[in-house]
Amino acid sequence: MTTLQPTTDPLPYLTQAYRTDPYPFYAALRAQHPVHRHPDGFWAITSYDAIRHLLYDRTLGVAELDYGPAGPLHDSMLGADAPKHTRVRRTHSRWFTPRAVKTWTDITRAEVDARLEVVAAGSRTFDAVHDLAFPVTFATISHLLGVPDTDGARVRQATYDIGKSLGLAPTEEEAAGTAAAFDWFVGHIEGLIADKRRQPGDGLLDAFLAFEDEGTMSHDEVIASTTLLFAVGHLDITYLIAHGIELMAERPEIFDDYRNRPELREAIVNETLRLDTPEQFVVRTTTQPITLDGVDIPAGEVLVLFIGAGNRDPLVFAEPDTFRLDRDVDLSKHLAFGGGIHGCAGQVLARAEAHVVFGALTERFTALELAGPVDHNHSDFIRSITALPITVR
């Protein structure tokens, strides 16, 4: 086999054009070099089949990745390899079963209903991010953890600051912001832990502390795991919900299908996840030499698996840039939740919360309309919607 060394850079990930719309860049790279050695020292993988194969390749690792100021995440599931990953994941598993998620989504529904009552009684125009998606998802993850749903705005900002440092080339300013965000999270979570020690409850944080007391988790793992749950338990799900609402406002037939055709609801959520995946890539390291699509990759190399690119691979999803429910392929084949041992543990919760919000909107109202410009704050890693003005009919 040969080692491919492309000389051009079709992934200008520091540019605004790329961050606004990376998909044309993915398409060009996937067509020419689906396994691409980037000049910045990582391998960019953009084809669906290669990404899916690598997600389930247990010879790849994450523990040796340099997270920079986000390094404490190596004490969470995100940044650990087996056997540490297996041990930490087991402390979470029973909290994210379909039966357990039913309990948490009862909280979601109550929160959604309360907020939509305000919308219906008022001007019927609201910000679907700040007035609905974010507070609902934050209330749900807070209830799951067994902590008050306070300091939401600060948690959201700290989460976003950490996410910036997980991009491909964070600036010094972004790295400093991540360090400050972790300092804040540690102080915040230590305060929650102190409250729990004085007055125990029955949330996931209580379970973590019991695991710490018995020696199954370290204190650093409790802090890192709680930080990760705050982050992915509200921010990623917020963006899924917001993107779905945006699509329903832009294309009324999607709203109507969700409302009138229950058999399509799961497909609508899957296609929303596929079309604009909240987290655009995952990163792995090779622990031994591998050959991928005829390209030799040595041990110790960094692989960036662009799941946003894989989700628009035309060899799997015809007309990949279009929202379609009539595909020949199973729509659940998207890669938005990753896969393998590092696949998203909370994907059942993410789907359930999206269905609760979409269901409540389509039950109460007959249409959604954009009420102004949609604001985004995309990075190379996160596809974010920061303001989504909506009028309900």
Domain range list for the chain: 32-392
Question: Which residue type is seen at 313?
Answer: D
Q: What tens digit of pLDDT does each residue of 96-143 get? A: 888 888 888 899 999 999 999 999 999 999 999 999 999 999 999 999
Q: How far is CA 228 from the centre of its chain?
A: 11
pLDDT band at 309 (very low <50, low <70, confident <90, very high): very high
pLDDT of residue 1: 46
Task: Taking residues 61-90, report their average pLDDT.
Answer: 92
Q: In the CATH scheme, what architecture does the domain 32-392 have?
A: Orthogonal Bundle (1.10)
Q: Pick the closest to residue 225 from 197, 240, 210, 204 (CA basis).
A: 204
Q: What tens digit of pLDDT does each residue of 217-255 get? A: 999 999 999 999 998 888 889 999 999 999 999 999 999
Helix, strand, or coil (residue 157)? helix
Report d(CA 158, CA 181) in Å as an integer.
5
Question: Which residue type is seen at 244?
Answer: G
Beta bridge partners of 285: 61, 302
The single-letter DSSP state of residue 373 is P
Q: In the chain, at which residue ranges do the beta strands (DSSP E only) sit?
A: 35-37, 42-45, 60-61, 125-127, 282-286, 290-292, 295-297, 302-305, 368-370, 375-376, 385-387, 389-392
What CA–CA distances, in Å, run from 392 to 120, 204, 255? 8, 36, 12
Q: Please check whether residue 119 is in contact with residue 360, taking contact to mean a CB–CB distance below 8 angstroms.
A: no
Q: What tens digit of pLDDT does each residue of 134-174 get? A: 999 999 999 999 999 988 889 989 988 888 888 898 889 98
| Largest pairwise CA distance in the chain | 67
Report d(CA 372, CA 185) in Å as an integer.
34
User: How many other C-beta atoms are found inside a 10 Å radius of the C-beta of residue 84?
Assistant: 16
pTM higher than 0.85, yes or no? yes
* Full strand arrangement of the beta sheet holding 125-127: 125-127, 389-392, 368-370
pLDDT of residue 8: 62
User: How many other C-beta atoms are found inside a 10 Å radius of the C-beta of residue 63?
Assistant: 13
Alpha helices in 1-58 (DSSP H): 16-20, 23-32, 48-55
Report d(CA 145, CA 237) in Å as an integer.
16
CA atoms within 13 A on the CB side of 69: 23
Q: Pick the closest to residue 54 from 318, 297, 389 (CA basis).
A: 297
Q: Is 28 left (phi over 0), alpha (psi -120 to 50) or beta?
A: alpha
Report d(CA 57, CA 290) in Å as an integer.
10
What CA–CA distances, in Å, run from 293 to 4, 6, 30, 310, 312? 10, 15, 12, 15, 19
pLDDT band at 2 (very low <50, low <70, confident <90, very high): very low
